[in-house]
Amino acid sequence: MATFFRKPDRRQRFLLPVDMQDWLPESDFVHLVLDAVEQMDLSGFEAEYRTGGAGQAPFAPAMMLAVLIYAYANGHRSSRKVERLCWRDVGFRMIVGDHVPDHSVIARFRRRHAERVQVVFVAVLRLCRAAGLGRLGVVALDGTKVAANAALAANRTAKTIDQEVAAILGEAEATDAAEDALHGELRGDELPAELRRRDDRLARLLAAKERLAREATERAAAQQAKVDARAAEEAATGQRKRGRKPTPPSAEVDPQAKANPTDPDSGIMKTAKGWVQGYNAQAMVTEDQIIIAGALAQDANDVQQLDPMVTAALVNLEMVSGEEVELGAVLADAGYWSEANAETETAEAELLIATRKDHRQQAALRDLPPPRGRMPSDLTPRQRMERKLLTKRGRDLYRRRGQTVEPVFGQMKETQGAGRLMVRGLTACAGEWTLHCVAHNLKKLHAHCVRRSANGRRPTLH
């Protein structure tokens, strides 16, 4: 039995240089992040920087990317907090060493390379597939609402936006006139700071106004298509259709239509807990909860996202494997149902889409008897889908939907803070959502590698 306590000698100098790789055990997540980033082709990131000239050398993109992935995987998204952790946290210190980036450098890197994160997503997906994860045959698609970096109360009507734009422009003109009277043709001082801030607000107001105009134009085009379709049908049959005629389209902006000047690309979304200002985040997930495609949409509903997500998943997997792949059965809830979507089924993606709200669909699968005999040829697309879902195979497959994709959203929101985005603008927000997907997949890969090590098999990254 020991008769003393072990005490740290904080003034002891090391006789040999410290190897940072020994700071944490081999099974720690940070080692996987470093190994994964090391194998990625980051030439697109590196091409954005100039080296060899005057000034301080830029931080290596591999280091910055590893910092972001490790931070998001652990739920740290504030650039200032990440900077502090790079000084204090042993995992972050392993990544950066003595080269601690400033919070502004971290924020700029995240925004500058938002569109390139998709390359990182495919690279991580390749590692997951090489490790035996991301098994196809049954995949599930769903969407979740994520809050934007903008307050719901910041929404303004089109009429209010016009008034604020006019007020800012009027104040700017008045300032210009006063300076002309004071300085004449000579150069005066810079624009006051309060007007510089208003200039930024004016840009965001004009972006919000442009979005409202674009949405009005799209609605008018959709309405015109309805009018034309009705006219064509009446011309083909020689009879007037019953019911009210569609109203003529108008591209004028409704004065009461709303947009958010803080983040004009975001929209008002309805969730189970109320309304939020945000985006519609999409993910297609395998049964072992590997995300094979992720995207961010401005539409509050999911119906327009099915075909783009199926296509994105096929493209990602074909980039990973280098050959054509088949997703198998694609499971989706009633938010994705439309007859047009049902007709997009292909040999690579068999669609099983609920035709009613999830609790009603589950009740139908539980209570209604399975269909008998061959499928009649005169069924509508909706009836055909309902019949397919009621078969024994359809019931078994659809029951897997919730346990496949919904836990992924829960894990990302609870442990990574993915329920609220930190940046603004569709491109930057889409990059951040993809970064969340990258972090999620790497955490799944890490758990898989730890399990293999526990079973006596050494995991390797290919």
Tens digit of each residue's pLDDT (9 = 90 or more) over 120-144: 999 999 999 999 999 999 999 999 9
Regarding whether 275 and 209 lie in a shared domain, the answer is: no
Asked, for residue 375, whether it belongs to a domain, the answer is yes
Q: What's phi and psi for 369, nearest 5 deg?
A: -75, 155
Asked, for residue 8, whether it belongs to a domain, the answer is no
> Coil, strand or helix: which one is 274?
strand
Residue after which a domain boundary falls, among 200, 227, 259? 259
462 vs 305: CA distance, rounded Å: 33
Question: What is the per-residue pLDDT for 189?
Answer: 46
Regarding whether 90 and 181 lie in a shared domain, the answer is: no
Lowest mean pLDDT among 158-172, 190-204, 282-296, 357-371: 190-204
Regarding whether 366 and 277 lie in a shared domain, the answer is: yes
Residue after which a domain boundary falls, among 88, 112, 136? 112
Percentage of the chain exceeding pLDDT 90:
50
Q: Is the pLDDT of residue 187 over 50?
A: no
Asked, for residue 216, whether it belongs to a domain, the answer is yes
Regarding whether 363 and 347 lie in a shared domain, the answer is: yes
Class of residue 236 by CB neighbours under 10 A (exposed 0-12, middle 13-18, buried 19+): exposed
> Mean pLDDT score of the chain, rounded to an integer?
84
In 82-174 the beta strands, taken as DSSP E runs, fall at: 137-147, 156-157
Asked, for residue 244, whether it belongs to a domain, the answer is no
| Whether 383 contacts 111, CB under 8 Å | no
Q: Is the pLDDT of residue 191 over 60?
A: no
Question: What is the per-residue pLDDT for 294?
Answer: 96
| Whether 386 contacts 113, CB under 8 Å | no
Regarding whether 284 and 143 lie in a shared domain, the answer is: yes
Regarding whether 333 and 277 lie in a shared domain, the answer is: yes
Q: Is the pLDDT of residue 172 over 60?
A: no
Question: What is the per-residue pLDDT for 378?
Answer: 79
Contacts 24+ apart (CB under 8 A), 18-26: 20/93, 20/94, 20/97, 21/94, 23/90, 23/93, 23/94, 24/90, 24/91, 24/94
1 vs 195: CA distance, rounded Å: 74
CA 31 from centre of chain: 26
Residues 428, 77, 436, 133, Cα dihedral to 10°: 150
Question: What is the per-residue pLDDT for 457?
Answer: 61
Regarding whether 171 and 141 lie in a shared domain, the answer is: no
Which residue range is the domain that position 82 belongs to?
20-112
Regarding whether 307 and 166 lie in a shared domain, the answer is: no
Q: Is the pLDDT of residue 400 over 50?
A: yes
User: pTM of this prediction?
Assistant: 0.81
Question: What is the per-residue pLDDT for 461?
Answer: 59
Asked, for residue 83, whether it belongs to a domain, the answer is yes
Residue 78: Cβ within 10 Å count? 15
- Structural domain count, the chain: 3
First to last CA, the chain: 48
Class of residue 215 by CB neighbours under 10 A (exposed 0-12, middle 13-18, buried 19+): middle
Model confidence at 264, pLDDT cuts 50, 70, 90, reads confident
Q: Is the pLDDT of residue 218 over 50?
A: yes
Model confidence at 193, pLDDT cuts 50, 70, 90, reads very low
Q: What's phi and psi for 148, nearest 5 deg?
A: -85, 170
According to the per-residue pLDDT averaged within each range, which of 4-18, 78-92, 193-207, 372-386 is highest?
A: 78-92
Assigned token pair, 365: 């699968």
Mean pLDDT, residues 42-51: 87
Model confidence at 344, pLDDT cuts 50, 70, 90, reads very high
Question: What is the per-residue pLDDT for 194?
Answer: 44
Regarding whether 341 and 320 lie in a shared domain, the answer is: yes
Asked, for residue 175, whether it belongs to a domain, the answer is yes
Lowest mean pLDDT among 144-158, 189-203, 223-237, 371-385: 189-203
Tens digit of each residue's pLDDT (9 = 90 or more) over 224-234: 777 677 777 76
Residue after which a domain boundary falls, among 259, 289, 316? 259
Model confidence at 317, pLDDT cuts 50, 70, 90, reads very high
Regarding whether 376 and 273 lie in a shared domain, the answer is: yes
Mean pLDDT, residues 97-103: 91
Residue among 447, 312, 319, 427 at smallest CA distance from 41? 319
| Whether 268 contacts 165, CB under 8 Å | no
Model confidence at 199, pLDDT cuts 50, 70, 90, reads low
Regarding whether 398 and 349 lie in a shared domain, the answer is: yes
Lowest mean pLDDT among 114-128, 183-197, 235-249, 255-269: 183-197
Model confidence at 363, pLDDT cuts 50, 70, 90, reads confident
Regarding whether 336 and 279 lie in a shared domain, the answer is: yes
Asked, for residue 2, whether it belongs to a domain, the answer is no
Model confidence at 192, pLDDT cuts 50, 70, 90, reads very low
Asked, for residue 14, whether it belongs to a domain, the answer is no
Question: What is the per-residue pLDDT for 11?
Answer: 74
CA 238 from centre of chain: 49
